[in-house]
Amino acid sequence: MNPEQFQQALANKGITLSAKQMQQFADYYQLLVKTNEHVNLTRITDENEVYLKHFYDSITGAFAEPRLTAEELTLCDIGAGAGFPSLPLKIAFPQLKVTIVDSLNKRIAFLDELVAKLGLTDVTLIHDRAETFSAKKSSSREQFDIVTARAVARLSVLSELCLPAVKVGGEFIAYKASAASEELQKGGTAIKQLGGQVQKIVPLTLPVTDEERNIIVIDKVKSTPNKYPRRPGLPSKKPIQ
């Protein structure tokens, strides 16, 4: 998917990108590839693949939750890595107020340079572990309209890292590939214990490759118990069963 095809594919979904926004994506790609030479940000560096599997894929969250396209929502991206999905969403929908949390300072430094280069506002970068970012006495706990994660962790783990940051009445949006239903079966107990309730699963296929994707939207229906998230490392070592 080249940049023109990317723009057209989004237009087909009712999302129009201006010349300025297209330039921001072009600058994003250039800095990503340049920085990736000395900081491990992504294994995908081919331009067509970045536009499809990072930029377009990130924006698919708005297909599942259309409020992202127009409302001034607070969005927190847990473990954003090179900024996915939050920064492509921010470029496409500038009214979003974005907070990015990542545990690796080198990635935060890249994102800081990127945000400045693209001229983005209302983007806050936080170097922290997800477990301490939304711990029971943290000012970030249950503060966000939407929390996103596009990480490879299992849903039972992601839920413990993400749901504590979602305000009651907000949503956790998990980007998953083909194993979404299996992960939901195994992660259902964790989601419920953490105050979540599955609203819907939106199945998608990426253009060009027809790869399967699933956007899982989880409503935050009640406050997360104070004991969650547990101390750093424990959610992944001993997922809630």
pLDDT at residue 96, as a whole number: 98
Residue 222: CB atoms within 10 Å: 12
Angle of helix 105-118 relative to helix 19-36, nearest 10 degrees? 150
**pLDDT band at residue 55 using 50, 70 and 90 as cut-offs:** very high
Summarised one tens digit per residue, pLDDT across range 137-190 is 889 999 999 999 997 789 999 999 999 999 999 999 999 987 788 888 889 999
Q: Are the C-beta atoms of residues 68 and 92 closer than 8 Å to each other?
A: no
- Domain holding 10: CATH number? 3.40.50.150
Closest CA to 95 of 115, 124, 75: 75
pLDDT at residue 41, as a whole number: 93
Q: Is residue 57 part of a domain?
A: yes
Summarised one tens digit per residue, pLDDT across range 191-215 is 999 999 999 999 999 999 999 999 9
Q: Is residue 228 part of a domain?
A: no
Domain that holds residue 214: 3-223+233-237
Which residues does 192 contact at the CB level (< 8 Å), separation at least 6? none
Q: Is residue 11 part of a domain?
A: yes
- Give the SS3 label for residue 164: helix
Q: Is 130 annotated as a binding residue?
A: yes
pTM score, whole prediction:
0.95
Q: Name the domain count of the chain.
A: 1
Q: Is residue 21 part of a domain?
A: yes
Q: Among 9-23, 56-70, 145-159, whose mean pLDDT is lowest?
A: 145-159
Q: Is residue 125 part of a domain?
A: yes
Q: Is 84 annotated as a binding residue?
A: yes
Sheet with 74-78, edge to edge strand ranges: 123-127, 97-102, 74-78, 144-149, 166-176, 212-220, 196-205
Distance of CA 118 to the CA centre of its chain: 19
pLDDT at residue 203, as a whole number: 94
Q: Is residue 23 part of a domain?
A: yes
Q: Is 150 annotated as a binding residue?
A: yes
Q: What's the CA gap between 204 and 103, in Å, rounded?
A: 30
Q: Is 131 annotated as a binding residue?
A: yes
Summarised one tens digit per residue, pLDDT across range 93-152 is 999 999 999 999 999 999 999 999 999 999 999 999 999 999 988 899 999 999 999 977
pLDDT at residue 190, as a whole number: 94
Q: Is residue 188 part of a domain?
A: yes
Q: Is 110 annotated as a binding residue?
A: no
Distance of CA 2 to the CA centre of its chain: 22
Quote the tokens at residue 214: 């699933």
Q: Are the C-beta atoms of residues 177 and 152 closer than 8 Å to each other?
A: no
Q: Is residue 152 part of a domain?
A: yes
* Residue-wise burial string across 32-48, b where 16 or more C-beta atoms lie within 10 A, e elsewhere: bbebbeeeebbebeeee
